A and B are shown apart, each in its own frame.
Chain A
């Protein structure tokens, strides 16, 4: 076993953004970041993707909002949140003081709201990029969202790109027949990167009462249960598109994260794992370092897209 003597180079390159390491936290699973301060050093993270923001504060769905399934979690939070003004006034100044990339997950009820959120945030300092959430399945009952078809994806990305002064990551939905087509539409519209995947539209039933277990009937499945499908989608998109891919879905360990990198992701996001262990993202960074040291890998970057497909 080769052992490197120099410290592993962990930097990740998204082209428009250089990260200290490839591990970001996934939107909606890391609150507004500050909730995690007691548990890990936020400055050690590659970046923080904060909870999805609409322009106005939002109520969210009626409970129950969560149900656990085998190695997974279905959520129907409905994007409850504080809105851009409270975020800029109360959260952002504190996040700005932390030396890490802050990425804001942007939501909207329609195209105009997405644009309004971005225009408002453009006037604020301390944001590295936007992650356009066009893929949340919880807002409409049937999980409808722009990311389900190429045309609305193209239109929305194009609009937001035209009003934004910051790089744009488009977060895609896995609830489609061809993820490649949708990713292509986002790329053609000028997105700087794509992130995949968001949650899988799912449901759980209480057999005794014969009622849905979630207040919203359907919700989004996340966690280890979705990793193999997310990995496949990341590989499909990364091997065909030139825009950088951020991979996520069920990452619980350093090995999971490295699989996504090998599949072609330039960076990863850690989601549900942070609910189980609030310091999961920091642990995963440590496990990546250990693996690289044990395998004589000098720079994590060099692993990206190295999958040997027969």
Chain B
């Protein structure tokens, strides 16, 4: 957890409203684990005022990658940055996915919807490195909304795509694709990140198939470091149900502990 004020944007790739940033930031990159996030300053002034939380898409000792979509003012401002620009980030924050996950040879399903695919690339790479077999289920509304499928393939990771409009891969929700697969096979674990509705549906499916699952949750964050209590989610704990800070105790939670709205 450091403030890296002198991170450098090295590389920008874009597909419509989706962006991948390659960032030189050794202080953040060297400690980052899959599922963690950074808080990025998007303007030099006070509008937008707050930093924006973004998942770590990939990382190594030299820095990290982001993958994001334009949602509002903050992500729009960020998308206008160009290679060579300085970036001010805090990271790596939060607790990531449980690693190392499945033992040698075991399969893990990684389920991502839209921009939720972001942290799953790093996770897939690390799982593969640990000797597990990650299979990525990547869903989007249209063909244009699953832009980085080939990035996984180039890294030697199997990807199965779905689109709501049937323009590419399986026609329908990615949850339906996973459900279909779970009938045939049982991975050691399911990891997911995406819209709340997708993850809630998936939580029902993984519970039904009795497969352990971990979900990376989103929330509007004020600080990202556990100070404002703005980012809460209802979680079942040993001590009962309560509002728990996503930035500090998450953003990744075991499926059975999340009390979905």
Q: Which residues of A contact B (CB under 8 A)?
A: 28-31, 35-36, 38-39, 51, 59-60, 63-68, 70-73, 75, 77, 80, 223-224, 252, 272, 274-279
Contacts and interface: CB of A to CB of B under 8 A. Distances in A.
B15 interface: no
Nearest to A224: B46
Contact of B49 (A28, A276, A279): A276
B230 A278 contact: no
Given A38-B2, A59-B243, A31 B47 contact: no
A275 B232 contact: no
Contact of B232 (A39, A65, A272): A65
A35 B249 CA distance: 13
Contacts, number: 91
Contacts of B230: 63, 65-66, 75, 77
A73 B220 CA distance: 12
Interface in B42-78: 46-51
B46 A252 contact: yes
Contacts of A77: 228-230
Overall SS of chain B's interface: loop
B148 interface: no
A251 B232 CA distance: 26
What range describes how many residues of B lie at the interface? 20 to 34
A28 B223 CA distance: 11
Interface in B141-191: none
B87 to A, nearest CB: 14
Given A68-B48, A71-B49, A72-B49, A31 B226 contact: yes
A180 to B, nearest CB: 29
Interface centre among B46, B47, B48 (most CB of A within 10 A): B46
B220 A66 contact: yes
B222 A73 contact: yes
Contacts of B220: 63-67
Interface of B: 1-3, 41, 46-51, 90, 219-223, 225-233, 242-243
A100 to B, nearest CB: 17
A54 B220 CA distance: 25
Contact of A29 (B47, B219, B228, B243): B228
Contact of A63 (B3, B226, B232): B232
23 contacts: A30-B227, A35-B227, A38-B2, A39-B1, A39-B2, A39-B225, A60-B243, A64-B220, A65-B229, A66-B220, A66-B222, A67-B220, A68-B48, A68-B49, A73-B49, A75-B222, A75-B230, A252-B46, A275-B228, A276-B41, A276-B49, A276-B50, A278-B223
A276 B3 CA distance: 11
Contacts of B1: 38-39
Contacts of B243: 59-60, 63, 80
A73 B46 CA distance: 11
Given A65-B231, A77-B228, 19 more contacts: A31-B225, A36-B225, A36-B227, A39-B2, A60-B229, A63-B220, A64-B220, A66-B231, A67-B220, A70-B47, A71-B49, A72-B49, A75-B230, A80-B243, A252-B46, A275-B228, A277-B3, A278-B3, A278-B227
B217 to A, nearest CB: 11
